Structure 1
């Protein structure tokens, strides 16, 4: 970066007496004048033509331009040829952009990773490798980075490539409109993200002029630059006949706006502001808006309000240092502000301005104009910039934490232990609409579906609905009942018990969040054409018992009820989180290609909707796959796609035992050589004693030496050993999770302080967890009420006690113990 004295010297040379009446667009170093003079003159003529009408713009218009002026460049300089005053050829920026934007170097710099790792990752992604494939089968190339970290690097790389395309597009657009100057191009090429690029480009997109641009069009910039560099400027000589230059005060105001613009856009000032921002402790305050305090509200307005204002009572007079604001508080403030219930502000301490002023005084000679220009820039531009940045950083951090909470719960939820080889009855309970019944076989196929109308309010000695249920259980040999935990769940449970329906058939409570929404989706209609959505919901509940992973991925993630403020997170971010979580779970458990649904297959590494459909068509035509190698026969799946998906698709009963493991076909030869080396028969891979045998054999081997002997890397050998040691799922050791709800309490009205309950944890968040106690609404165990226990995990059964709640409609609980 250039030193301050050199910058002042260049400015002094840049603006001579001959340039006094010229536009800023012509004020370029003399050695470059010939290169851009033609374009500059065109631009000057255009600006002069539109300057007169703009001079008479109303105060309202001026405010708009001031707002636009706040969106100025805050790009963080990257060490490039541009900073070293290399001449820029406007007619050929593609090569320079390529040289400037080395994706690997920029990725390594931003994410603080070794350059070679960045190059390896970009190379693998360019070849078409997916993140799950890289995380499992190319660990050595990416320095054993974890999947979450790889996801972060991938997002950062996508931002860099998108930014590179956007930069080229912006430069091309500015060239066409003759607005591109060396300084503007320097700022654009120094932008590190889209928001910084937009701050530079936004003022250039508009036909309206900022206050500084108006002043420049009056020919005052050379005088402002000389004044800032310590020269004496006689204001009287600058006054003119035009209204804009009628008085000394107006001239001084125009020069102040130019000085403010110069200071604010200076790369050294921007860099220092970023540094100060990291050191500064801002304060976030919120208050209730006046509009939300009105007692009488029209019915239409009531419908528009998403929340009761009392929901945000905690934030009506609230303040907190920005570094202590919790993620859930940020999201609550944002939602309250969006609903016009809260007014949120960022308080910037005076310390920030004082430090910034001291720094700016070292860059330019005139203390008077530095203070005057900085004061104007600070109030109009810098404070709004800081406020936006602080709020944006808090929101980004909160959304990231919310997504992390969401994916952690989702992974745990998706890994709910399936109950295989059972004929299952799913019940979607209800009062008026009746109880929907869906029965599936061990493969998840529909056997029967109907609606029964039990009398849940009154217990009768003979209930036709009970006989109907018993007959269906007997006819289809139902071995398990999955009861949805929604409306009328407790009443239906008691009805089943009182009619002796569950004496021989166990009942488990199934979370039904999202089942009704899925039942009316296009995917559900494809799966069950011309079927009543209510009955589809009952079948979905049954399948959540048989194959939780396969069924839950059909539901939109925000409707699963396992996150925090997930409705406030951008849908694209949520969808990406779901895909990442599903791919990670699939990597852990594998998917049987002969039973997986289209919804499951499309989320496998390397596959998409079309390829998944082709796999299912092939499976139906050929009565299933007999080996992994047969996947290559599917239309649309070539060698690259096969490479990406093969390791995640298992073929049970294949003639090749390794087809049932997570070992990739490219490593079969190594796996067989290793098995021979340690003295085990690969044909025994599916036998119960095989994992223990491998465990014993590998105690005496050195993994590093063995991997070198087999001509492979340590990570691949460790994966093979892990696959050999993996115990196969045993279908007959299922322990049914019986209902744990308290029999004495059926609804919220029966709750009072001190009531003891049992329930199941349905959602874990940073400030505690939510427990389903079978009373309709989930209760919150705040982290302050854990009683010395660790936070329960999703699905844990707990004993709790009802405690006093500041909010009458909210259930507050204290954790007594985590049940076995």
Structure 2
């Protein structure tokens, strides 16, 4: 007891010292009135840029649970957020641009439509930048909804105080909102709420403001929670910690310090991944991957700002599989600076230090770790999506080979070789399975005779051979029996074909058909119409990009849809031949509306004009406006229906054609693009746009459409030797051997090459030499370099053949 009295007296002296007047120090617990400084500080719409007098008065009152009357005055504050202003602040763009974009989106405009037909309103931003702004806008809306939901939830649970509400309204993102809300979301009382229930809040605020409090007098034997000095101090500390970490000024300081701090990411191997089974004595692998795959990360650390995107994704996967343990190291510099800042806000140094220490260890530091990891993951996912879409765009724009009868071959050993034959429209002509003798040469192989007869009967002009299992053996078999002597063979990437063949979409398209045969038809169609066929496959199964299986499915699907829409913006779609999978990805359409278009097309034997689209059930004026520019009518009475020119600009287009002296009825003639090029080479586009009373962007689009060449029948230009004939399996490879192959995937650290040995090999960026990174689909010559098992094949680039 004597020792306790001495400690109490010592603290009283410290508190009296802390209570002495200090210059330039705040005198109250509540935040001082100052101009908002946060990036997402709440701003009201134009007529009232600040909170109303009534609401302001409420926010400046001492902290307490909000009464119903006061809650009614503040609950609408979230609804008054101006999304365009917040968007402008976050993305650092002009407010006018943000307002224009939000206005267009509110009217139902899609990004492809804005990027093509309203680009002047958004300062001619590129589609990828528009996508970034759209995602930020969606995050602002999500934050707004979440903030409103949190306020309503806390109000019902009677946990909403004015300080808490103000902290919520000052949150910049969902993570910051969680920092405020996390301690309150539990049904049980938080530590600070329990302390407040004991009536200690006024004493805690006095202590924080530098006023002397006698802790000993607050002790009482009638309540076990207040039975001694240590318990009372702990309760007061929890209240002070709650006040500090929810203060908007502290939150703003945490933001700025986080931007300046150099965090370190540390990873190590988990003990569970090294456990041994009692029965076999072998290592027990409690994961999907071999732990040795992550060997480089068993004792690894790196400054967070130097961590590569693929390293972040590898760490996340290793952590999910319980092979790696990943931590964020926060330097002491962060805490020391935060403490010095808090001392400038309140006077009670002793209680500031105790409260901040408690808030930091329980709330702020764990939140910092989550935030750093989250930001790294988001950045890595964006990079992975960018890699995916870059590869996907190139993949989808694979040159189609039109107007050919094509046989798709899905090779195999035990299951045989599946064959699907299609006509020039992609319709099925025949499907069957062969069982060729690929292991040995048989002069009278019946499979070869049957395939020859079927190819002849259906007048097949091209063979698409899948590059999967038994590809090389089947390729050799086709040559030995002279099947490919008169019919060219194209090696076709078959990633995702098997997955697609068992999908619901495939079963709808080919009811009651063997999935193996559907796969062969898909391979054939990938030659005829790569874009139309590849969009049917789930994006994560297309084999392009990096760590696509670790990216949220929704993100990949959004990236796929966005990429397809951009490509459609380039090439357009013939509404009379487009599939359901293609139509539902057109700007403004969905699956339901696409089905209605197909039903109308079938019933009326096609569309003769764009205007006829309005006759389709559920296609209203807004939907029509969004989709019509991306849907073409070939051979109709209106020549402009076959272009990317929007019907709203037809009058301008016809006036412009007349002005430069060309006839739009001759647009299908081969010399028309060259004629337009000649006529427009020296025109003043600004002056002409004024004369025609249109904007420059619209006129540029019209000129581009006039210059676009009408579809010409593709010739088979790229049927070239792909693989080295001397090597067919991985076991035949030797260091220093030269091979030829095709680039199947391009990633930030290099590219993967298919050399026909059953496994793609990596050309690391350090092995590219003076060459730039090859593009997807490029034919390359490579040299095999040492590759320790079970590492993947390693190549060095010699030259790009195309």
TM-score exceeds 0.5: yes
- 1:566 is displaced (CA, Å) by 0.6
- 1:636 is displaced (CA, Å) by 1.8
Quick one: distance in 2 between partners of 1:114 and 1:597? 41
Match of 1:230 in 2: 210
- 1:203 is displaced (CA, Å) by 3.1
- 1:793 is displaced (CA, Å) by 0.5
- Structure 2 residue 66 is matched with structure 1 residue 87: no
Match of 1:701 in 2: 683
- 1:123 is displaced (CA, Å) by 1.6
- Structure 2 residue 88 is matched with structure 1 residue 108: yes
- Structure 2 residue 78 is matched with structure 1 residue 97: yes
Alignment of 1:262-341 (within 5 A): 262-296=243-277, 305-341=287-323
Match of 2:544 in 1: 562
Q: CA 1:794/1:517 → structure 2, altered by over 3 Å: closer, same or farther?
A: same
Match of 2:502 in 1: 520
Q: Which moved more, 1:802-811 or 1:284-293?
A: 802-811
Quick one: distance in 2 between partners of 1:441 and 1:646? 29
Q: CA 1:517/1:462 → structure 2, altered by over 3 Å: closer, same or farther?
A: same
Q: Which moved more, 1:334-343 or 1:735-744?
A: 735-744
- Structure 2 residue 591 is matched with structure 1 residue 603: no
Quick one: distance in 2 between partners of 1:277 and 1:650? 52
- 1:740 is displaced (CA, Å) by 1.2
Cα pair 1:75 1:190 within 8 Å, conserved: no
TM-score normalised to structure 1 length: 0.89
- Structure 2 residue 123 is matched with structure 1 residue 158: no
Report the secondary structure of 1:90's partner residue. helix
Cα pair 1:211 1:257 within 8 Å, conserved: yes
Q: Which moved more, 1:230-239 or 1:299-308?
A: 299-308
Q: 1:444 aligns with which of 426, 430, 433?
A: 426
Q: Which moved more, 1:175-184 or 1:285-294?
A: 175-184
Q: CA 1:459/1:492 → structure 2, altered by over 3 Å: closer, same or farther?
A: same
Report the secondary structure of 1:774's partner residue. coil
Match of 1:728 in 2: 710
Match of 1:17 in 2: none
Cα pair 1:543 1:551 within 8 Å, conserved: yes
Cα pair 1:76 1:270 within 8 Å, conserved: no
Match of 2:366 in 1: 384
Match of 2:767 in 1: 785
Cα pair 1:756 1:800 within 8 Å, conserved: yes
Quick one: distance in 1 between partners of 2:560 and 2:95? 30
Q: CA 1:261/1:182 → structure 2, altered by over 3 Å: closer, same or farther?
A: closer
- Structure 2 residue 377 is matched with structure 1 residue 395: yes
Q: Which moved more, 1:358-367 or 1:498-507?
A: 358-367
Cα pair 2:277 2:283 within 8 Å, conserved: no
Quick one: distance in 2 between partners of 1:661 and 1:142? 23
Match of 1:23 in 2: none
Report the secondary structure of 1:526's partner residue. helix
Quick one: distance in 2 between partners of 1:180 and 1:298? 57
Alignment of 1:256-655 (within 5 A): 256-296=237-277, 305-655=287-637
Q: Which moved more, 1:536-545 or 1:144-153?
A: 144-153
- 1:521 is displaced (CA, Å) by 0.7
Match of 2:7 in 1: none
Cα pair 1:508 1:739 within 8 Å, conserved: no
Quick one: distance in 1 between partners of 2:31 and 2:298? 57
Report the secondary structure of 1:813's partner residue. strand
- 1:620 is displaced (CA, Å) by 1.7
Q: CA 1:135/1:12 → structure 2, altered by over 3 Å: closer, same or farther?
A: closer
Q: CA 1:732/1:581 → structure 2, altered by over 3 Å: closer, same or farther?
A: closer
Q: CA 1:658/1:76 → structure 2, altered by over 3 Å: closer, same or farther?
A: closer
Report the secondary structure of 2:408's partner residue. strand
Match of 2:101 in 1: 121
Q: 1:250 aligns with which of 204, 228, 231?
A: 231
- 1:462 is displaced (CA, Å) by 1.3
- Structure 2 residue 164 is matched with structure 1 residue 184: yes
Cα pair 2:88 2:94 within 8 Å, conserved: yes
Q: 2:784 aligns with which of 782, 789, 802?
A: 802
Report the secondary structure of 1:733's partner residue. coil
Quick one: distance in 2 between partners of 1:376 and 1:222? 19
- 1:92 is displaced (CA, Å) by 4.3
Q: CA 1:784/1:287 → structure 2, altered by over 3 Å: closer, same or farther?
A: same
- 1:12 is displaced (CA, Å) by 9.5
Cα pair 2:496 2:537 within 8 Å, conserved: yes
Cα pair 1:769 1:782 within 8 Å, conserved: yes
Q: 1:762 aligns with which of 732, 736, 744?
A: 744
Report the secondary structure of 2:238's partner residue. helix
RMSD: 2.3
Deviations 1:340-370, CA, capped at 9 Å, x for gaps? 1000011111211222222122122232222
Cα pair 1:75 1:187 within 8 Å, conserved: no
Q: CA 1:467/1:138 → structure 2, altered by over 3 Å: closer, same or farther?
A: same
Q: Which moved more, 1:227-236 or 1:173-182?
A: 173-182
Cα pair 1:75 1:270 within 8 Å, conserved: no
Q: CA 1:362/1:733 → structure 2, altered by over 3 Å: closer, same or farther?
A: same
Match of 1:146 in 2: 126
Deviations 1:600-659, CA, capped at 9 Å, x for gaps? 011001111111112112222222222212212222212221111111011111121111
Alignment of 1:680-695 (within 5 A): 680-695=662-677
Q: CA 1:510/1:303 → structure 2, altered by over 3 Å: closer, same or farther?
A: farther
- 1:262 is displaced (CA, Å) by 2.0
Q: Which moved more, 1:562-571 or 1:378-387?
A: 378-387
Match of 1:216 in 2: 196
Deviations 1:649-685, CA, capped at 9 Å, x for gaps? 1111112111111111111110110010001111111
Report the secondary structure of 1:425's partner residue. strand
Aligned residues: 758
Quick one: distance in 1 between partners of 2:279 and 2:304? 37
Quick one: distance in 2 between partners of 1:297 and 1:418? 58
Q: Which moved more, 1:468-477 or 1:293-302?
A: 293-302
Q: 1:135 aligns with which of 85, 97, 115?
A: 115
- 1:114 is displaced (CA, Å) by 1.5
Q: CA 1:82/1:735 → structure 2, altered by over 3 Å: closer, same or farther?
A: same
Quick one: distance in 2 between partners of 1:738 and 1:612? 38
Quick one: distance in 2 between partners of 1:114 and 1:794? 37
Cα pair 1:76 1:271 within 8 Å, conserved: no
- 1:10 is displaced (CA, Å) by 4.1
Match of 2:178 in 1: 198
- 1:732 is displaced (CA, Å) by 4.4
Report the secondary structure of 1:450's partner residue. strand
Q: CA 1:727/1:302 → structure 2, altered by over 3 Å: closer, same or farther?
A: farther
Quick one: distance in 1 between partners of 2:286 and 2:298? 20
- 1:220 is displaced (CA, Å) by 2.2
- 1:168 is displaced (CA, Å) by 2.9
Alignment of 1:735-750 (within 5 A): 735-750=717-732
Q: CA 1:252/1:819 → structure 2, altered by over 3 Å: closer, same or farther?
A: same
TM-score normalised to structure 2 length: 0.91
Cα pair 1:506 1:736 within 8 Å, conserved: no
Cα pair 2:265 2:301 within 8 Å, conserved: yes
Match of 1:55 in 2: none
Deviations 1:406-453, CA, capped at 9 Å, x for gaps? 111111100001000000000000000000000000000000000000
Quick one: distance in 1 between partners of 2:789 and 2:796? 16
